[in-house]
Amino acid sequence: MSEGDDVEIEEGYIIVRSASPVLASASNKLSTWVTMKMESGWAPHGPPQIHHDGEKFYLIQAMISS
């Protein structure tokens, strides 16, 4: 994982995160992480969330074990 990308894991529930100063880059990174997690048995839980702090875009996707 690179700086700004992260995965928090709890039993049956994870949060996949991506951050970048460019929205398209943050979106591409999040998409890659979500796809990798889906291939290993995780499913998206709700829509992705976005936050912009004036410098970076932060995208977050909750996922559940399927």
pLDDT in tens, 22-53: 999 999 999 999 999 999 999 999 999 999 99
**Inside any domain, residue 17:** yes
| Spatial CA neighbour of 29 closest among 48, 14, 11 | 48
CA gap 6, 51 in Å, rounded: 15
Residues 6+ apart with CB under 8 A from 10: none
Predicted pLDDT at 10: 64
Q: Residue 56 pLDDT more than 70?
A: yes
Question: 56 lies in which domain range?
Answer: 6-65
Domain total for the chain?
1
- What are the structure tokens assigned to 33, written together? 């992480």
Q: Residue 18 pLDDT more than 60?
A: yes
**Inside any domain, residue 14:** yes
**Inside any domain, residue 24:** yes
Q: Model's pTM, two decimal places? A: 0.80
**Inside any domain, residue 1:** no
Q: Residue 7 pLDDT more than 90?
A: no
63: DSSP letter: E
